[in-house]
Amino acid sequence: MRIKMRISSQAADSTLWCSLKLATRGAILVGDQYQLPPVVKDRKCREEGMSETLFARCARDMASIELTAQYRMCRGIQRFVNELFYEGKLKCGSREVEDAKMPRVFTTALAGPWIEEMWNPEQPVVMIDVSQWRSAANEEFVAAADEKEDGRVYSRPEAQVIKSFVTTVPRHSLASEDLVILSPYVKQVKLIQGLLAAGDRSDVEVMTVDRSQGRDWKVVVISLVRSRSLDNERGGDASTDVLGLLDDWRRLNVAITRAKVKVIIVCSPEYLSEVASYQDTRGGQVVRRLID
SS3 for 27-56, per residue? Answer: EEECCCCCCCCCCCCCHHHHHHHHCCCHHH
Of 102, 96, 92, 46, the closest CA to residue 68 belongs to 92
**For the chain, which domains are there?**
3-61 (no CATH), 73-291 (3.40.50.300)
Does residue 13 carry a pLDDT above 80?
yes
Q: What is the pLDDT of residues 212-225, one digit of tens each?
A: 999 999 999 999 99
Q: Which residues contact 194 (CB under 8 A, 6 or more apart)?
A: none
Q: Residue 231's pLDDT is what?
A: 34
Whether residue 134 contacts residue 143, with contact meaning beta carbons closer than 8 Å, is answered with no
Q: Which residues contact 128 (CB under 8 A, 6 or more apart)?
A: 118, 161, 264, 265, 266, 267
Residue ranges of the alpha helices (H) in 135-203?
156-167, 186-198
Average pLDDT on 8-33 reads: 88
pTM (global) more than 0.85: yes
Task: Tell me the three state secondary structure of residue 221.
Answer: strand
Q: Phi, psi at residue 69, to the nearest 5°? A: -80, 130
- Spell out a b/e string for 178-211, using b for 16 or more CB atoms within 10 Å of the CB, else e: ebbbbbbbebbbebbbebbeeeebeebbbbbbbe
243 band by pLDDT with thresholds 50, 70 and 90: confident
Between residues 141 and 253, which one has the greater pLDDT?
Answer: 253
Whether residue 28 contacts residue 3, with contact meaning beta carbons closer than 8 Å, is answered with yes
> In angstroms, rounded to a whole number, what is the distance separating the alpha carbons of residues 8 and 52?
12
- What would you report as the CA-atom Rg of the chain, rounded to the nearest whole angstrom? 20
> In angstroms, rounded to a whole number, what is the distance separating the alpha carbons of residues 41 and 56?
19
Mean pLDDT rounded to a whole number for the chain: 85
Q: Residue 109's pLDDT is what?
A: 58
Q: What is the pLDDT of residues 34-50, one digit of tens each?
A: 999 988 888 888 888 78
> In angstroms, rounded to a whole number, what is the distance separating the alpha carbons of residues 110 and 91?
39
Q: What is the pLDDT of residues 257-274, one digit of tens each?
A: 999 999 999 998 888 888
Give the H or E element holding residue 76. Answer: helix 75-81
Q: What is the pLDDT of residues 103-124, one digit of tens each?
A: 888 776 556 677 777 888 999 9
